[in-house]
């Protein structure tokens, strides 16, 4: 049982680190989005679409991590 608890704690630490990394990436992508919003040419529109896709992916990853973290906490 003690080994299981240690494994769960390590997994939780890993999930928290991943969540922090996703938060950092999300902030960087949002900053890029704000910088690109004033440009209206085609390449910038494509860039904005790519940014939106990245933000959605980061949000999905964060939700997955939050569910895993919740599950790990319930196992304690």
Q: What 8-state DSSP symbol labels residue 4?
A: H
Domains in the chain, number:
1
39: left (phi over 0), alpha (psi -120 to 50) or beta: beta
pTM equals 0.60
CB 72 within 8 A of CB 15: yes
- pLDDT tens sequence across 12-53: 888 888 888 988 988 888 888 777 776 666 666 777 788 888
Closest-CA residue to 23 (of 59, 56, 71): 59
Domain that holds residue 65: 2-75
């Amino acid at each position: 049982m003690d080994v299981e608890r240690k494994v769960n704690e390590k997994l939780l630490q890993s999930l928290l680190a991943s969540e922090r990394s996703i938060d950092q990436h999300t902030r960087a992508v949002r900053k890029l989005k704000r910088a690109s919003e004033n440009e209206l040419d085609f390449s910038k529109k494509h860039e904005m679409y790519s940014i939106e896709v990245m933000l959605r992916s980061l949000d999905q990853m964060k939700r997955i991590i939050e569910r895993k973290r919740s599950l790990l906490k319930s196992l304690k």
